[in-house]
Amino acid sequence: MKKLAELYSGKAKTVYTTDDPDRMIMEFRNDTSAFDGEKVEQLERKGLVNNYFNAFVMEKLAAAGIANHFEQRLSANESLVKRLTMLPVECVVRNLAAGSLCRRLGVAEGIDLSPPVFEFFLKNDALHDPMINDSHICTFGWASAAQVADMKTLTLQVNEILGALFADAGLLLVDYKLEFGDFHGTLMLGDEFSPDGCRLWDAKTRDKLDKDRFRQGLGGVVEAYEEVAGRLGIALP
């Protein structure tokens, strides 16, 4: 599959068209950003680790019945994916309180959230990804009522699948963000799943092994991602 033109460059990935109008190539870059792109750094090997991590997770999800855009890893930093029409919403599930939930509601970090919390955010850096609800999504046409219902169901199914996968590796899946898109009338999981877009804590020590290490200046960011990959059995070059 040949890379043709650059289609879109985001904060951590660039996507390219291919000779197949239904496929694109997703390149995972070393750029690491936080606070809606305010803090950006290049972290050696981050693109490679996230590419392998995403391939592993997307294959597990597909095997468990979650349709997604991933097709195959092409190189250290690139994967072939289906070209979806993305919906401009982010779906977040939280099992333990962290991040913006603590800031917004004044709850202590680390408390158990049972049942898990589900939230929608609008994908818009200029507006700082504001929290939105089903009503906003339908009124402004960001997704249909059926897509809203399906995104919630699928995101919570992913929680069951990945919660168990990470638990087996001695990790707590604290929270995560998913993005969906349409592929010829079928809703599918798109974007990526990597420690850039989720929170993972060591189950015993509660050490942070995700992008909060970068956000909070804790250091050892890629080392933590590699630690998680190793525990999952992902072989990295």
Residue 11 binds which one of ligand TMP, ligand ASP, none, with CB within 5 to 8 A depending on kind? ligand ASP
Out of ligand TMP, ligand ASP, none, which partner does residue 121 contact, by CB within 5 to 8 A per kind?
Answer: ligand TMP
Binding site for ligand ASP (CB under 6 A): 11, 33-37, 211, 215
Per-residue x/- mask for ligand TMP, residues 74 to 113, rule CB under 6 A? ----------------x-x-----xxxx------------
Q: Distance (Å, rounded) from C-alpha 69 to C-alpha 3?
A: 17
- Which of the listed partners (ligand TMP, ligand ASP, none) does 177 bind, with a CB threshold of 5 to 8 Å by partner kind? ligand TMP
Neighbours of 38 (CB within 10 A): 8
Q: Which two tokens stand for residue 123?
A: 């994908």
Q: What's the sign of the alpha-carbon dihedral 214, 218, 223, 225?
A: negative
Q: Name the residue nearer to ligand TMP (CB basis): 47 or 197.
A: 197
Smallest distance from the beta carbon of 64 to ligand ASP, in angstroms?
Answer: 26
Using rule CB under 6 A, residue 197 touches ligand TMP: yes
CA-closest candidate to residue 127, choices 90, 91, 178 = 90
**Sign of the alpha-carbon dihedral angle for 221, 207, 194, 132:** negative
Which long-range CB contacts under 8 A does 121-129 form with residues at least 24 apart? 121/89, 121/90, 121/92, 121/177, 122/88, 122/89, 122/90, 123/88, 123/89, 123/90, 123/179, 124/88, 125/36, 125/37, 128/36, 129/36, 129/90
Q: How far is the CB of 175 from ligand TMP (least distance, A)?
A: 4
**Closer Cβ to ligand ASP, 18 or 132, answer by number:** 132
Closest contact distance (angstroms) between CB of 214 and ligand ASP is 8
For 89, 120, 134, 144, 234, the CA distances from 138, given in Å and listed in that order, are: 12, 12, 6, 6, 39
Q: Which does 46 bind (CB under 5 to 8 A by kind): ligand ASP, ligand TMP, none?
A: none
Query: Of 26, 47, 42, 75, which is closest to residue 191 (Cα–Cα)?
Result: 26
What distance in Å separates the CA atoms of residue 108 and residue 192, rounded to the nearest whole number?
A: 28
For residue 33, the partner it binds in ligand TMP, ligand ASP, none, with Cβ less than 5 to 8 A by kind, is ligand ASP
Residue 102 beta carbon to ligand ASP: minimum distance, rounded to whole angstroms: 14
Closest contact distance (angstroms) between CB of 63 and ligand ASP is 27
- Is 188 a residue that touches ligand TMP (CB under 6 A)? no
What residue ranges bind ligand TMP (CB under 6 A)? 90, 92, 98-101, 121, 129, 175-177, 197-199
